[in-house]
Amino acid sequence: MKQIRIFACLVAVPIAASADVNRVHERIVSDPNAGVVRTVSVGSIIREQGRFYIVDEAITTVSRPMRGGRWVIPLTVNPDQPLTQVSSNAKFKACTNAGTGPCGLDDDGNGTFDRMAQDSVSLAVKLKEPVPYVTKTQTRVVDDPKNFKQVILYTGATGDTLRLSYREFSNNMARPAFTEELTIPLSKQFPQDVAVKDVRIRIHKIDGLGLTYEILPVVSERG
């Protein structure tokens, strides 16, 4: 009787990566700062504000690429390619392309990558030779549904009316539903204060050179 041998073949199926960025700190950045007097022409930005995250990025310190993996095409990270820190059980894990590209894992936190993974959710494999890296703190916009940027533009003025455009952006993409054209009544006397979307603006003058103004500090309410 013939014996039939069955061999099991394991095929690695890619899993969609998730950019689970380890956010070290979140802050709201506004430009210009309160109290700064400046002049803008028609069509220029009066004020913009956005949410930023301070994240850690890693750069390998060897001249050769970091290469590894048991795939047909080896994973490769070039020496000058930044890797962004992501959440992990390892002491430090960082990936290219916000988690969708190859990742390096430092299991013991000694400053060298010990393993490499296809993306932020795939299983990692041990590198033949550890690869040293350095980290730096970088402030940048993180691709996130909650990320936003608000912009107020000066679009002109008549004798008694100030025209502004208010716009919101999500991940640097304009959202038409959050674009408003605004008109604000003006008196004949300057300086005068106006409020736009809870932003207090002191207008010093309006002439042929544009709008001269400053953003006023936020007044805290005390109960």
Q: 165 vs 98, which has greater pLDDT?
A: 165
Q: What does the pLDDT read at residue 136? A: 80
Structure tokens at 217: 């500090």
Spatial distance between the Cα atoms of 127 and 125, rounded to a whole number of angstroms: 6
Q: What is the pLDDT of residue 10?
A: 30
Q: Is the per-residue pLDDT at 197 higher than 80?
A: yes
Q: Are the beta carbons of 56 and 94 closer than 8 angstroms?
A: yes
pTM: 0.53
The 10s digit of each residue's pLDDT in 30-49 is 789 899 999 999 999 999 98
CA distance 60 to 36: 41
Residue range 64-86: average pLDDT?
80
> pLDDT for 171-190, tens place per residue?
656 555 588 999 999 998 99
One DSSP character per residue, 45-85 reads EEEEEEEEEEEEEEEE-SSSPEEE-SSSS-EEE-TT--EEE
Quickly state the pLDDT bin for 141 (edges 50, 70, 90): low
Is the pLDDT higher at 154 or at 76?
154
Gyration radius from the chain CA atoms:
26
Q: What is the pLDDT of residue 162?
A: 97
Please state, in angstroms and rounded to a whole number, the distance separating the CA atoms of residues 150 and 79. 36
Residue 8 has a pLDDT of 31
Instruction: Say what the pLDDT of residue 117 is.
Output: 92
Strand ranges for 78-123 from DSSP E: 83-85, 92-95, 103-106, 112-117
Alpha helices in the chain (DSSP H): none
